[in-house]
Amino acid sequence: MNQLVIAMTIASLVPLSCLSASTITLTEEPTVSAANAAESALLSLANFESDALGSYSTLTTGAGTFEVMSTSHGGDKLSVGTHKDQFAILDAADSPFLGRYNTTLGGSQWLDSNDITGLELLTTDNTLWFLVTDPDDQGGVLTIETGNGTEMSFPTGLPNGSLWLVEVQGVDGSLRFVDSSRHDGYGLDDFATVASTPEPSGLALCGGLLAALFVGLAWRRRKA
Ligand SMILES: [Ca+2]
Ligand SMILES: [Ca+2]
Ligand SMILES: [Ca+2]
């Protein structure tokens, strides 16, 4: 059996979900309380309430480490932010932006993009939920990308201050937040994950299936 046949055999037997394991789901939430209700059964990872207010190039949280991407640019002259290539922890009293806000019940702070174009979260959590405020209301397009390159963009032309629940299955090591505009930032808050991991995981199932296929193919080659 030549390599092409082996590859075609594997491709035909492995479910598509094993080969592209990520899904990103965006759901607009009508109110903060509705968004909180949608996350109520989850395990909270980061709500930015204990992080110091101010600007950051990197920040380690319970959800992983946020970093400014090497390809990022700071806000342009239309931005009311700092114009530096840094993100920020803000509260309502310190924010120059309209439409970005805390979503934590009883809290006051959120992580703000400060209108930079590239923010990355490096994380070991393969399933994440979080809330996004104010994407795509100033002509920009915010795209979220997983570690394996699966992408999802928010709708364009949204009103100021819209609120979105994002669910990512198959984070695959990192989430990138890439914005096409240098004056259309967004807020992030209330990162959470599943309270308990179902067994067996999809990843383990896919790995086991691939291993079984290779063993089977090797056995057939020895017999040939
Ligand atoms: Ca918060
Ligand atoms: Ca806005
Ligand atoms: Ca915006």
What are the residue ranges spanned by the domains of the chain? 22-199
Instruction: Report every protein residue that has its C-beta within 5 angstroms of ion ligand 2.
Output: 98-99, 134, 137, 160
Q: Could you list the pLDDT tens digit for every one of the 224 residues in the chain? A: 565 555 555 445 554 445 557 999 999 999 999 999 999 999 999 999 999 999 999 999 999 999 999 999 999 999 999 999 999 999 999 999 999 999 999 999 999 999 999 999 999 999 999 999 999 999 999 999 999 999 999 999 999 999 999 999 999 999 999 999 999 999 999 999 998 755 555 555 555 555 665 565 566 666 65
**CA-to-CA distance for 176 and 144, rounded, in angstroms?**
6
Do the beta carbons of residue 200 and residue 15 sit within 8 Å? no
pLDDT at 130: 98
* pLDDT value of position 21: 79
Neighbours of ion ligand 3 (CB under 5 A): 134, 137, 184
Q: How far does residue 41's CA lie from ligand 3's centre (Å)?
A: 29
Burial bucket for residue 124 (CB in 10 Å: 0-12, 13-18, 19+): exposed
CA of 23 from ligand 2 middle (Å) equals: 27
CA of 136 to the centre of ligand 2 (A): 8
Q: What is the pLDDT of residue 17?
A: 47
Residue with tokens 């990197």: 58
Work out the burial of residue 69: count CB atoms within 10 Å of its CB; fewer than 13 is exposed, 13-18 middle, 19 or more buried: middle
Of the listed ligands, the closest to the CA of 140 is 3
Check residue 195 and give its pLDDT. Answer: 82
Distance from the CA of 29 to the center of ligand 2, in angstroms?
16
- What's the CATH number for 22-199? 2.60.120
Tokens 């309209």 appear where?
98
Q: 12 CA distance to ligand 2 centroid (A)?
A: 47
Ion ligand 1 — residues with CB < 5 Å: 47-48, 102, 104, 107, 109-110, 189
Tell which residue, 82, 122, 110, has the closest CA to residue 186.
110
Q: Kindly give, in sequence order, each residue whose CB lies less than 8 Å from that of residue 61, ignoring residues fewer than 6 positions away.
A: 45, 46, 48, 51, 191
CA 14 – ligand 1 centroid, Å: 41
142, 176 in Cβ contact below 8 A? no
d(CA 136, CA 156): 5
What pLDDT shows up at residue 222? 67
Residue 199 pLDDT: 52
